[in-house]
Amino acid sequence: MGHANQGTGGPASVARLGEVSSSEVRTDRADAGVPGSGPPRAAVASHTAERVAQTMQALATASRVRLLAQLRDGPLSVGELAQGAEMEQSAASHQLRVLRHLGLVIGRRTGRNVLYALHDQHIATLLSEAIGHAEHVELGIADQISASSTASLGWTDSGN
């Protein structure tokens, strides 16, 4: 799924979703020169930010997370997914339609059944990262990168 960067034309102008042309890149230089701030970061294009927000909203429902987690091991039918997520089949079907609409799963009809699978490996990685983050927050564990960068700024978690 690509889009053409305006004004450049030709095959070299096709970019993947989330990539921006040099004319679209903004950098936040407000923290330039601040120790630990690192290099300026490129802003995310607004259409990409919208798509990411939609993807994250899909993970905002525990039942969807449970359905997606099962699909990390391979395709399953609606009945298998519903049973594994301890849901009614109709509720699982509804959630799977939402996930399909958001581009997180694909469905393939085989006879009377529909087998669902993750759209691609990015979804499995995103889900694993989200689960890992939730577990770290629950256990009070911070990654070394974030712990060292916030410590260099004198930050502590205030619990708010």
Alpha helices by DSSP H, listed for the chain, are 46-58, 62-71, 78-84, 89-101, 121-139, 144-152
107 occurs within a structural domain: yes
Domain contains 28: no
2 has a pLDDT exceeding 50: no
Residue 132's CATH number: 1.10.10.10
**Is the residue at 113 inside a domain?**
yes
* 87 found inside a domain: yes
Mean pLDDT of all residues in the chain? 78
Place of tokens 């502590």: 156
Distance between CA 69 and CA 107 in Å, rounded? 16
pLDDT of residue 49: 93
Q: Above 60 in pLDDT, residue 17? A: no
Kindly state whether residue 49 falls inside one of the protein's structural domains.
no
Query: Is the entire prediction scored with pTM above 0.95?
Result: no
Q: What is residue 22's predicted lDDT score, i.e. its pLDDT?
A: 42
Cα separation, 61 vs 44, in Å, equals 25
- Would residue 85 count as lying in a domain? yes
Residue 135 domain boundaries: 59-141
pLDDT in tens, 66-99: 999 999 999 999 999 999 999 999 999 999 999 9
Q: What SS3 class is residue 3?
A: strand
Number of domains in the chain: 1
88 and 77 Cβ atoms separated by less than 8 Å: no
Structural domain includes residue 17: no
Q: Is residue 16 part of a domain?
A: no
